[in-house]
Copies of this chain bind each other. A is one copy, B any other.
Amino acid sequence: MVIVLKPNPDPQQLAALRSWLAAHDLTVHDSVGVTNTLLGLVGDTTAVDIEMLRAMSIVQDVRRIQEPYKCANRKMHREDTVIRVGNATVGGGGFAIMAGPCSIESEEQITAVAKAVKAAGATLLRGGAFKPRTSPYAFQGLREEGLKLLLAAGKETGLPVVTEIMDISQLPYFDEVDVIQVGARNMQNFELLKELGRLKKPILLKRGFSATLTELLMSAEYIMAGGNEQVILCERGIRTFATDTRNTLDLSAVPLLRTMTHLPIIVDPSHGTGIRSLVKPMAVASAIIGADGLMVEVHDHPEKAWCDGQQSVTPEAFADIAAACRAVLPHRCREEMNA
């Protein structure tokens, strides 16, 4: 961390700053320039509150050199984290495929979709039971009942299941769920993250609508700091001025995140584009750039889907997508990071 002092800082305030830094076990190296003096801090600055330093009247600017996350940091943990759940594996060079309907609608629907996606090569079954919807008047998911149907479909097909939690109070229903998803709107629901940090269960953390990569990793850090190191990151599109697609899928985040963290990174091209015909090209692109997997919305009758039908693909289309992804895996552009 580097503190840039304003020209001619008040000596008393500077002395106070120096003792504060010393009290936090930070060694200070001065660099005196013609106009500004720089203080280089040596030590663990993770817990230093950069906002507080910036508020001081003798300080012009503060810059971090070290990342503010530790547990999630690739520098502290060179090896890729590999998460095993049932027969599936996420991270470390494989390619996990999570597929299923946006909303669980009925036993018939989830069972039919589960069988279809398994046959097509999905390795996990996704399905929404608790649904975050912009409108209070829209379908809110089958909730507890939906979870039961999802778990049954998972058992019948042997697929581990992944589904979204919206609030701590729903946790008791998630006992048998294999992977708990935190949605984009809850990426900074810190109380929920802390609670999930107490579990021993993989968490799928979706990037918020307007979250930077560092913020995404800080949210992962909330979970990991609590002791749960099984976090899967998910790029699902960001909100920009560009409204031709529902969101702007930020694919370059995938190889960039791989240099920043050892956690697995998957892509959700369904939400990332919101347009059915774009799911396949963006899925294949995700595979080729080294993503650790995909999350795809599949519905047996997308036109009758209770939500997000516009971006759902049929089981047949999904089979084609999964096959196309598998076909490009030998050509993957995925730099080895463990060295």
| Interface residues of A, Cβ cutoff 8 Å to B | 2, 4, 27, 29-36, 38, 40-43, 46-47, 49, 51-52, 54-57, 60-61, 63, 65-66, 68, 132-139, 166-170, 185-186, 188-192, 194, 208-210, 212-215, 218, 221-222, 225-226, 238-245, 248-256, 259, 272-273, 275, 277-278, 280-282, 284-285, 288-290, 302-310, 312, 324, 327-328, 331, 333, 335
Contacts and interface: CB of A to CB of B under 8 A. Distances in A.
B289 A281 contact: yes
A210 B210 contact: yes
A129 to B, nearest CB: 13
A244 B243 CA distance: 13
A27 B32 CA distance: 11
Given A63-B63, A189-B185, A241-B239, A333 B51 contact: no
Q: Across chains A and B, which 3 residue pairs bring their CB atoms closest together, nearest first? A: A55-B309, A31-B31, A167-B191
B278 A256 contact: yes
Contact of A65 (B4, B65, B136, B167): B4
Contacts of A280: 333
Contact of A212 (B169, B242, B255, B308): B242
Nearest to A248: B250
Given A49-B138, A185-B188, A308-B51, A278 B250 contact: no
Contact of A190 (B2, B54, B132): B132
B168 A309 contact: no
* Interface-central residue, A66, A166, A255, by most chain B CB under 10 Å: A255
- Majority DSSP secondary structure for residues of A touching B: mixed
Given A169-B169, A281-B289, A52 B306 contact: yes
A55 B302 contact: yes
A174 to B, nearest CB: 14
A55 B102 CA distance: 13
Contacts of A57: 303
Given A42-B34, A310-B51, A240 B244 contact: no
A172 to B, nearest CB: 13
Contacts of A218: 134-136
20 contacts: A2-B2, A27-B34, A33-B42, A46-B135, A51-B310, A55-B303, A56-B303, A133-B190, A186-B189, A210-B210, A214-B244, A240-B240, A240-B248, A251-B251, A251-B282, A252-B272, A255-B277, A259-B277, A277-B335, A281-B288
